[in-house]
């Protein structure tokens, strides 16, 4: 049971990070910052924008 709970917590944390990164990309002040954030997102495994 503990393993299942840990997996759920990890999945939720990943989803929060994913949403935060999407929000940061969408509200980036400049195109350069946006491109940097996209590069960071692409470096993360499994991330699709």
Nearest Cα to Cα of residue 38 among 28, 7, 5: 28
Structure tokens at 38: 């996209």
Domain that holds residue 24: 2-43
| Structural domain count, the chain | 1
pTM of the model: 0.71
pLDDT at 35 (0 to 100) = 95
Let me know if residue 13 belongs to a domain.
Answer: yes
Is residue 24 a part of any domain in this protein? yes
pLDDT in tens, 1-49: 689 999 999 999 989 988 999 999 999 999 999 999 999 888 876 655 4
* Cβ atoms 38, 22 nearer than 8 A: no
48 in a structural domain = no
21-18-39 Cα angle (round to 5): 50
- In this predicted structure, what is the pLDDT of residue 42? 87
């Amino acid at each position: 049971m503990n393993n299942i709970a840990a997996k759920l917590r990890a999945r939720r944390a990943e989803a929060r990070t994913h949403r935060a990164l999407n929000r940061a990309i969408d509200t980036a002040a400049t195109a350069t910052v946006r491109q940097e954030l996209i590069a960071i997102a692409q470096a993360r495994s499994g991330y699709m924008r």
